[in-house]
Amino acid sequence: MEDRILGMPRNVCLGLSYLLFPLAIVAFCVEKRTLSRDDKVHLWSSIVSAGVWVTLDLISTIFSWVPVLSWILWALSGVVCVVIYVFVIIAAVKCFRKLDDTASIPVVTDEVKKRIA
């Protein structure tokens, strides 16, 4: 296991990957063979949480023309996105501070750990 990912210190790259999900995609694709299991979990957690965020935004935008449904979807997606945002910020700060063993997004990280064997 290396201390650097994409030429950056490991904790900086993992912390930035939570804030900038394209960095997580690039880091996973370029450094795929040298990443540890924990690094892969962090990168995939970042990618999945960003994917959920974008999907909810797209769904609420698509249904924005339906009066009552759009209000309900807007409220629900807003609450879920704020919760995801809070957990992403907490995970990024923990990675920056090298506390990445405890950094997790509740549902997302559990599912990613099950899929990465």
Which residues, other chains included, contact 101 with Cβ-Cβ below 8 Å and sequence gap of 6+? 38
**In angstroms, how far is the first alpha carbon of the chain from the final one?**
17
Model confidence band, residue 36 (pLDDT cutoffs 50, 70, 90): confident
User: Which pTM does this prediction carry?
Assistant: 0.83
Distance CA 18, CA 114 (A): 20
pLDDT tens, residue by residue, 41-78: 889 999 999 998 899 888 888 888 888 888 888 888 88
Structural domain boundaries in the chain? 7-112
- Tell me the pLDDT of the chain averaged across its residues: 87
Q: Measured between alpha carbons, how far is 85 from 79 in angstroms, rounded to an integer? A: 10
